[in-house]
A = this chain, B = another copy of it.
Amino acid sequence: MRLTDSQKQQFDRDGYLFFPGLFAPAEIKTLIDAVPALYARREVYNVREKGSEAVRTNFAAHLYSEPFARLARHPRMVEPVEDLLGEKLYMHQFKINGKQAFAGDVWQWHQDYGTWRNDDLMPTERAMNIAIFLDDVVEFNGPLMFIPGSHKRGVIDAKHDVTTTSYPLWTIGDDLIRSLVERAGDKNGGIVAPKGPRGSMLVFHSCLVHASTSNLSPWDRVSVYLSLCAVSNHIRRHKRPEYIAHRDFTPISVLPDDCLLKNYPVDLPWKQGMPASALETSLDVLPDAPPLRVAHA
A residues near B, CB below 8 A?
Answer: 101-102, 106, 108-109, 136, 138-140, 142, 145, 174, 177-178, 181-182, 187, 191, 193, 211, 213-214, 216-219
Q: Is the interface of A mostly helix, strand, loop or mixed?
A: loop
In the bound complex, residues from chain B placing their C-beta under 8 Å from that of A181 are 217-218
Contact assessment for B140 and A106 in the assembled complex, using a CB-CB cutoff below 8 Å? no
Report B-chain residues with C-beta under 8 Å of the C-beta of A136.
187
Give the residue of B140, B174, B178, B191 whose beta carbon is less than 8 angstroms from that of A193: B140
Q: Report chain B residues within 8 Å CB of A214.
A: 106, 213-214
The distance from the CB of A70 to the nearest CB of chain B, in whole angstroms, is 28
Q: Is the pair A139, B139 in contact by a Cβ cutoff of 8 Å?
A: yes
In angstroms, Cα B105 to Cα A108, docked, is 12
Contact present for B140 and A174 (CB under 8 Å):
no
Contacts of A101 in B (CB 8 A): 174, 178
Of chain B, the residue at the smallest CB distance from A145 is B140
Instruction: Write out the residue numbers on chain B whose beta carbons fall within 8 Å of the beta carbon of A217.
Output: 181, 191
Q: Given A136-B187, A187-B136, A193-B139, check contact A216 B108 (CB 8 Å).
A: yes
* A102 close to B218 (CB less than 8 A): no
Compute how far the CA of A182 lies from the CA of B217 in the bound complex, rounded to whole angstroms: 11
Residues A174 and B109 in contact in the complex (CB < 8 Å), given A140-B145, A140-B191, A193-B139: no
In the assembled complex, the Cα of A139 lies from the Cα of B141 at a distance in Å of 12
Contact partner, A177, options B109, B139, B218, Cβ 8 Å: B218
Query: Given A101-B174, A177-B102 in contact, is the A219-B139 Cβ separation under 8 Å?
Result: no
Residues of the B chain whose Cβ atoms lie less than 8 Å from the Cβ of A145: 140, 216
Question: What is the bound-complex CA distance between A182 and B191, given in angstroms?
Answer: 29
Q: Please name all residues of chain B whose beta carbon is closer than 8 Å to the beta carbon of A138 when the two chains form the complex.
A: 187
